[in-house]
Structure 1
Amino acid sequence: MRRICPESLFGILFLAICLTLATPVYGQGAKGYAIVIGLSDYPLYPQDRQIHFGKNDAIEFAKYLKTAPGGTFDTTLLVNSEATRSGILTAIKSVGKVASNNDLVYIFFAGHGAVDDSGQAYFMPYDADSKFPEGLGIRMDELLGDVAKNISSNVVFFIDACHAGAALQPGARGDENVVPKLTEEWTRAFKFKGDNLLSMGFFAASSNEVSWEDSVAEHGLFSEYLLEGIKGAADTNPMDGRITAQELFRYIELHVQAESKRRFKSQNPLRSPIWVGDFPLALYPPNLKSRAETLSGHVKGNHPDVAANQAELAQAHTEQRLETIRRERPLLRQFIREMPKGADLETHSSGSISPELWIDWAVKDGLCVDSKTSTLLPPSATNRSGRPVCAEGTVAAESAYNDVRLYQSMVDAFSMRKWRLSGESAYDHFNNTFAKFSGASRSLGRILAEMSKRAVSQHEIYQEILVTPSIPVAMLRYLNSNSVLSDNPSIEELARVHKLLKENGLVEGMAEAIEKVNEAESERDTILRCKSSTPDPACSVKQRYQYQVLRSSITSQVYPQMVMAFEVASVDPRFIGIGVAQPEGTYHSIHDFQPQMRMFGYLHTMYPLVRIGISAGQLSDAYSDLSDSSHIRDAIEIGKASRISHGTSLQYEQNPEELLRFLKERKVPIVIMLTSDDLLLDVKGEDHPFRWYLERGVLLALSTSDEGVLGTNLTQEFARAVESYGLSYGELKTLARNSLTVSFLAGESLWATPYQAITVKDCEGDIPGAPNPSISCAQFLSKSDKAKLQWQLESQLLKFEASF
């Protein structure tokens, strides 16, 4: 129900605390005093304008103040007939006689507020007349001035404000001017107290809103969460047994906003313009100390006017939820699954499909399977009913549906499941899976549709997918018949061959690659019904491509792929960059690493706007000789990579600490694939450099790499990070944000710096993700694909956090 405050602004006035200064405000022997006022029955107010639970609010608050966490305050409680004008002003003078400037004073008021015809604001005591506030009402500036004059202590006000009656009375002045008036009077009334004392306040609602009452809890909505928060629930960020003003305000704000919207109409708590958010309001074991001990040494400084908003409080509650379920794996997975994760970067198209789906597609396409190796093969013929006729040693793939042993062996062959039973190393088993399912139709459109579905189920909004459109036959024929490129080419050779490739099939190859993506996207959209009236939710996932260069070949075969990749990416905006595929530990990937980096470096000078992502440091001493490794640095300095994936062999790089500083200074991110590094390189836990990167401030994002073959998804990657490295929710949120920040999407980032969630100037003052950005911010977002998706992620994060 509505807390009635006719012509009002002030319900609960709870003077809580103020703070500190040049010399410590609170020395030894500091005391707490409180004046707690609550009114539920006004004799000169009509029944339909009564406050019902103001007395309850005051009694409960006074009771709390007498506890140790509440400060063991010397409390004066005034309720109903005791809370007259004379009673309130007398209490102020009485407290002023005993409270010193080392002490702390709370004044709590739950009652009506009013404005007169001139817009002057009043607190309404028990004996005040709703029709004549000038009579026995206590003028706002009078109360503040009286407190300032009589109480030379630190004070904080908590005010439950509503607009109720004035806005409903025909021709009456509303309370639009009360908040500005309050700010003006507040500043004037306390300014003369000097630099040694400060006062601040909490307000239950903005000037044009009702302050609601909860008939179930029998408290004002604001008071309900004020009491709940200060009794311990607001101890969230950090959870240290110390509830600060900022923590308490965030708690009240979030819950009052959420509950009022759900049950009544919007109510938005405010705080005073004078504010010190880190001031402790309550202390709990094991940090329960005397207030004097805790507050002494609190020095004067430039206390920023920290924007207190529900998003910050919601994040604190979400952090608290993660801490609660950290060791309960099912709940942790559920939490992370529902968490918005932004993007999956550097993910391989064919490696993303699950083995079960490859089997389904093989059956649909009428393929056969080698019963010993589980390799998919085309049928030798089809019978009259259209069923496959399979060669000796092979059976129809559909046989797997009724043959449990065959089905399980195919799943094992197409993935890393039970790889230890294969007789192969993990590295070899992984690489061999692709040849076994490659006989299935690898329609890119079908793959993109499935990737979209998996992404939306994981609460992803963007994917950067590595694809390799075919190299034109004319180019390959030309290169095979002409030994035009040495194994270690010079820049002059690269330039000459670049020119020759343009003259021998490159243009045709570009058209072919672009058309292949056109067809794939059309097929994807058809499968997902994206242009119908009932589109699949997966249609909302944005997909872009990295032209994938296969590096485990001789130089004369790798370089044409690079040239084609840069050409296509320079003309088709869907190709947002270049990527690298195939293991780094193969002969050509290791032996030709430097020449390949020089190829990238040369082409970067020719196509400077094309972004380059290189898988580097994807090595471990289990599979490679790492005695002289500098692949990560070389990929950046020589290959001009603006993003590195894996980076697993950091500790084997020359001077790794200096490299970490280099990565941070250059703002080069590392995309980490924890499951891939574990299964394929046998690097995990503390052997993995993840924590090293994290603690040195290097930009990090998580990726699945080949989620189908590896049997993972982005939820599992985030969960592995939590379980292996004890990440907080704030760190998970940063990883999600980073995934879009370090993406190759076009446009400026929403963040002024990639290392902090501080918006660019155009969006300064906006809450990221809010439904109605300012005009300047909306214009900025309209010009940037990256910023638009970042804003979308922030919106999703706000909703996710609000659920806690």
Structure 2
Amino acid sequence: MTMKLTAGALLALAVAAQPALAKGPASGANEAATSRHYASLIAGEPKLAELTMFFTQMPKGGDLHHHYSGAIYVEQYIDFVDKQGFCVNKQSYRIETRKEVVAAERAKPVAERSCLTGAEIYADDHTWRELLQRWSNKDFANHGALQPPPDRLFFQTFGYFGPVSNSNFHEGLQELKKRAIAENVGYIETMFKSAPALPNPDFDKQAAANAGNDAALEAQLAAAWAALDQDPGFGKSIAKFVGTVHESAEGIDDERFTMRYQTYVFRLMSPSLVFSSMMAAFKSDLASDKIVGVNIVGQESSHIAMRDYALHMKMFRFLRAKYPDVKVAMHAGELALGDVPPEGLKFHIDQALVVAGAQRIGHGLDLVHETNAPAIMKKMRDEDIPVEINLTSNAFISGIEGANHPINLYRKYGVPYVISTDDAGVTRHTLSNEYVLFASRYKPSYAEMKKASYASIRYAFLPVAEKQRLTRQLDSRFAAFEARIAQFAKTAKQVH
């Protein structure tokens, strides 16, 4: 199934798609003064230091494309290593979890140890810096050592800190909350944890045989769904999973900050594991008011992700029909020219929207290569489906930035968007920095930047009452922010 749009309709779309004004409250003179001050910061060569100060203080409604494990900084993971009594091998930089090995290492003099505690890693500058370059992108662009391609480095980081990222959930969430409050972010919707999965070799064989037969595949999915739905062990694993989310989330929400959780399926697994995990994700969403959506993750250019992409979209279509109240956001089109053969760039966003029914698109980088790009943008505009923009991640992983990034195309044709971080711990940045990059590269008005902040509440997978509460909170924060900036700008003018 595809979408078609004539050249004439495309022209009409381009004319009609004008930037909307901010949806925040009118704050009169303070808002006008803030707008003028901001305009002075992006005029000519952008004043990056002042823009950083501006956006650090500016309220940012939420972060909607956010990975829990990738958001935590290396330093926090090192603390978790010590807390759990593990050590880090200083040759492989991987976490050693076997108690007998850790005990044997700690019995040795420090100078003879090959597996170090956190304090010992910090004391050994060479080991610490080498570890940073494997567990994050630190120093990738400012030194000349041999290093892997950036996309490989990015996706491999999760294997290094994985043994501690899958525990200490509550402490990790508290750290993310503290950091969000410090930079005036009121809401995070994090991709927290993958749902449980069950292998089924027979399912895998059938999926391969039914790849080109939608009716046969639909029957196969229906049979697998019915079997899993009646499987008590599968049901218990889902209940345990939901319990983990609730236990981890205890005490995170308060009057200053709110967090909700997406569960996700890893697209690099066998078809039976993907389908069962996807089904568990949908059922978990219905079982919990903390879980608000389902996603699919994993390097989109990898062999299995490309081979099974259409299959995964059909799985989403099937499960969305079974569970129509579950919200779906989807990594789609996180591809650049050369990542895959050209034909692999032609359909990912299209199928995520038309087949899988995605309600938000993560990244959407390959838009300009997609066969139905004009119709994709029309559908997203008409149906109010936003794209999640991750500028730092897109530049590092895919090499797409500046004029090569499709954000201006989305903006030109009226597609809604939100600004988000992706994996700020791995790429060592903040949501404020994403706003700085957006403002300095594309020079939107203050009204558009303010609208982007409100959009991150508008498009959150939250009940209406919760969105209204967070919007009122954002109104109050913007009023206070604009009053401060108006006074600051006035004082700065007097000094000059």
Report the TM-score, using the length of structure 2 for normalisation. Answer: 0.84
Residue 566 in structure 1 maps to residue 272 in structure 2: no
Q: Distance in 1 between matches of 2:204 and 2:183?
A: 48
Show structure 2 runs of 5+ residues with no match: 1-24, 487-496
Q: Distance in 1 between matches of 2:65 and 2:179?
A: 15
Which of 634, 643, 647 lines up with 2:360 in the alignment?
643
Query: What is residue 377 of structure 1 aligned with on the other side?
Result: 96
Q: Which residue type is aligned with residue 518 of structure 1?
A: H
Q: Which aligned pairs between 1:263-282 and structure 2 lie closer than 5 A?
A: none
The 3 A distance-change label for structure 1 pair 539 and 440 is farther
If asked which structure has higher relative contact order (CA below 8 Å, sep 6+), I would say 2
Residue 791 in structure 1 maps to residue 475 in structure 2: no
1:361-404: CA deviation from partner (whole Å, max 9, x where unpaired): 22333322121231121254389999577997433343112111
Q: Which has the higher strand share?
A: 1
- Contact 1:614–1:643 under 8 Å retained in 2: yes
Residue 491 in structure 1 maps to residue 491 in structure 2: no
Give % identity. 25
Query: What is residue 355 of structure 1 aligned with on the other side?
Result: 74
Query: What is residue 346 of structure 1 aligned with on the other side?
Result: 65
- Contact 2:386–2:417 under 8 Å retained in 1: yes
Query: What is residue 543 of structure 1 aligned with on the other side?
Result: 259
Query: What is residue 244 of structure 2 aligned with on the other side?
Result: 516
SS in 2 for 1:438: helix
SS in 2 for 1:342: strand
Q: CA deviation at 1:678?
A: 0.3
Residue 503 in structure 1 maps to residue 230 in structure 2: yes
Query: What is residue 535 of structure 1 aligned with on the other side?
Result: none
Q: Which residue type is aligned with residue 344 of structure 1?
A: D
1:663-693: CA deviation from partner (whole Å, max 9, x where unpaired): 1112111011111100000000000001111
Q: Which has the larger radius of gyration?
A: 1
Q: CA deviation at 1:569?
A: 0.7
SS in 2 for 1:381: helix
SS in 2 for 1:609: coil
Q: CA deviation at 1:324?
A: 2.2
- Contact 1:611–1:642 under 8 Å retained in 2: yes
Q: Distance in 2 between matches of 1:481 and 1:490?
A: 13
Q: Which aligned pairs between 1:114-125 and structure 2 lie closer than 5 A?
A: none
The 3 A distance-change label for structure 1 pair 600 and 553 is same
Q: CA deviation at 1:633?
A: 1.4
Q: CA deviation at 1:601?
A: 0.5
Q: Distance in 2 between matches of 1:604 and 1:385?
A: 52
Q: Distance in 1 between matches of 2:67 and 2:393?
A: 12
The 3 A distance-change label for structure 1 pair 622 and 713 is farther
Q: CA deviation at 1:512?
A: 0.6
Q: Distance in 2 between matches of 1:444 and 1:626?
A: 40
Residue 585 in structure 1 maps to residue 313 in structure 2: no
Q: Distance in 1 between matches of 2:442 and 2:107?
A: 51
Q: Distance in 2 between matches of 1:518 and 1:400?
A: 34
* Range moving further from structure 2, 616-625 or 334-343: 616-625
Q: CA deviation at 1:786?
A: 1.2
The 3 A distance-change label for structure 1 pair 377 and 639 is same
Show structure 1 runs of 5+ residues with no match: 1-308, 531-537, 748-783
Q: Distance in 1 between matches of 2:78 and 2:461?
A: 34
Q: CA deviation at 1:515?
A: 1.1
Q: CA deviation at 1:657?
A: 2.5
SS in 1 for 2:292: strand
Q: CA deviation at 1:506?
A: 2.6
Query: What is residue 802 of structure 1 aligned with on the other side?
Result: 483
Q: CA deviation at 1:738?
A: 0.7
1:728-769: CA deviation from partner (whole Å, max 9, x where unpaired): 21111011011111111112xxxxxxxxxxxxxxxxxxxxxx
1:596-634: CA deviation from partner (whole Å, max 9, x where unpaired): 001000111111010110110100014222335111111
The 3 A distance-change label for structure 1 pair 650 and 382 is closer
Which of 653, 674, 685 lines up with 2:391 in the alignment?
674
Q: Which aligned pairs between 1:558-637 and structure 2 lie closer than 5 A?
A: 558-627=274-343, 629-637=346-354
Q: Distance in 1 between matches of 2:357 and 2:419?
A: 22
Q: CA deviation at 1:335?
A: 0.5
The 3 A distance-change label for structure 1 pair 585 and 713 is same
Residue 554 in structure 1 maps to residue 270 in structure 2: yes
- Contact 2:246–2:290 under 8 Å retained in 1: no
Which of 359, 366, 371 lines up with 2:85 in the alignment?
366
- Contact 1:484–1:497 under 8 Å retained in 2: no
Q: Which residue type is aligned with residue 395 of structure 1?
A: L
SS in 1 for 2:27: helix
Report the TM-score, using the length of structure 1 for normalisation. Answer: 0.53
Query: What is residue 240 of structure 1 aligned with on the other side?
Result: none
Residue 414 in structure 1 maps to residue 142 in structure 2: no
The 3 A distance-change label for structure 1 pair 556 and 491 is same
Q: CA deviation at 1:470?
A: 5.1
Q: CA deviation at 1:348?
A: 0.6
The 3 A distance-change label for structure 1 pair 686 and 788 is same
- Contact 1:367–1:440 under 8 Å retained in 2: no
Q: Distance in 2 between matches of 1:711 and 1:625?
A: 31
Equivalent residues, number: 444
- Contact 2:70–2:423 under 8 Å retained in 1: yes
CA RMSD of aligned residues (A): 2.4
Query: What is residue 423 of structure 1 aligned with on the other side?
Result: 147
Q: CA deviation at 1:718?
A: 0.4
- Contact 1:614–1:645 under 8 Å retained in 2: yes
Which of 107, 126, 142 lines up with 1:405 in the alignment?
126
Q: CA deviation at 1:423?
A: 2.3
- Contact 1:366–1:379 under 8 Å retained in 2: no
Which of 146, 161, 168 lines up with 1:437 in the alignment?
161
Query: What is residue 331 of structure 1 aligned with on the other side?
Result: 50
